[in-house]
Amino acid sequence: MVKRVGGTFTGTTPLTIWTPETGNRILLNGIYLQAWVVTALVGATPFDFVGVCAGTNSTVLWDIGRIASATDAAGISYGYFPISFPGAYAFANVDSPLVVATGATIGTGVIRVRGFVYGSERLG
Residue boundaries of the structural domains of the chain: 2-123
Which of 67, 77, 82, 68 lies closest to 116, judged by CA? 82
CA distance 89 to 119: 9
**For the chain, what is the radius of gyration of the CA atoms?**
15
CA distance 104 to 97: 21
**Tell me: domain 2-123, CATH 1.20.1300, correct?**
no
Which of 117, 81, 111, 94 lies closest to 14, judged by CA? 111
Q: Are 35 and 77 in contact (CB under 8 A)?
A: yes
Which of 116, 106, 103 lies closest to 31, judged by CA? 116
Report the pLDDT value the prediction gives residue 108, as an integer from 0 to 100: 85
**pTM check: above 0.75:** yes
For the stretch 17-71, pLDDT in tens is 999 999 999 999 999 999 999 999 888 777 777 788 888 666 788 877 777 888 8
